[in-house]
Amino acid sequence: MRGVYIFDEQKIKVYNPDGTARAIMGGPGQGPGEFDSMFMGIGVPVNVSPAGYTAAQRSLGSKATFNVYKPDHKFLETFPNKYETLGMFKGSNLKIAVLSDTSYVGIEAEGRDDGEYIHTVETLAYYRGEEKTTIATYDKIIGLSPEIYRTSVNHVGDLTWDMASPEVVVYSHSRNDVIQDENGFFYTIHTFNLSTGERAEIQHPVLTEPIPVVTPDPVMSRIPRHAINKMNELYQEQFKFREPFGKIRSDGAMLYVHLKHSADEIYTRFDVFDIEKRRFLRTVDILTQETGYIESIKKGNIYTIGSNTEGFRVVKVYSLPPEVYAR
């Protein structure tokens, strides 16, 4: 169902493509289908699945549950949040894609402490009632153990995913799915068919940058030297390079991978793939200095969140040139 879905004033506002209002879901409060934090603003992720179901966190925080609404915009129920950590949150995985009244795709996580590092083990899974199908599992280091000095670390990478269709999940990890051989660095895009269980991969070259050595700041940093040494050991011996890409965004069969490097700071660079044909199409630079942060790419349009001249947050829509998404 085409339209623009915006979280604002503790409710989800739905607009038709021509800008006219269509529906409102939720509202402030703690009742069924309501959102209970007055600090939730326009940047709260709203995920509309290819099946037409809408899901959004009902409050702030990494443990918040999800309000889910049917394709007719009526409240269905509150779905659980299975993301558990050891007090540190590193990631952008707080979304679910609801595919029917009883099925959805999402991430569950649990934390562990090995005495040196704090880990988060993330599992992307398909849930159907009480049944669970594991799609992928990744173990990532997110911080130093309290036995050394409790602090988070950077460059951990992220499990990023989207729905290419009601049946196909596309995903990758911006650190764990990057490999190096004699020809350079490559990253892997995975697909999983929920109906058949079929898996496929696409590998593509990518540029990487080394992680600089962390140096103690005697004035600003409260982290002791032995902890900084442990962080440098992690960065230089295990991580070695900055994560080369960020979120992936699906526009049907077209997949856009947000690269961390670009030709110029005013542009955002994407690798574009055809998921159905499992092939790379092209790399494109999209002007974003004036448009703002790219929130979504759908139907050949870019939806961004920025500010107007009066300082109010606004959503802007820009059409991509046809050559960007030509197959």
- What distance in Å separates the CA atoms of residue 12 and residue 30, rounded to the nearest whole number? 15
Q: Which pLDDT score, from 0 to 100, does residue 92 have?
A: 56
Q: Which pLDDT score, from 0 to 100, does residue 320 have?
A: 87
Q: How many other CB atoms sit within 10 Å of the CB of residue 52? A: 15
Q: Which pLDDT score, from 0 to 100, does residue 145 have?
A: 95
Q: Which pLDDT score, from 0 to 100, does residue 7 have?
A: 87
First to last CA, the chain: 23
Q: How many other CB atoms sit within 10 Å of the CB of residue 56? A: 25
Averages of pLDDT over runs of 10 residues in the chain (327 residues) are 82 89 93 80 79 89 84 94 66 82 94 94 94 96 93 92 96 96 95 98 95 79 89 95 93 93 77 95 81 79 82 81 81
Q: 133 is written with which tokens? A: 């199908």
Q: Which pLDDT score, from 0 to 100, does residue 91 have?
A: 53
- What distance in Å separates the CA atoms of residue 52 and residue 42, rounded to the nearest whole number? 21
Q: Is this prediction's pTM over 0.85?
A: yes
Q: Which pLDDT score, from 0 to 100, does residue 73 have?
A: 96
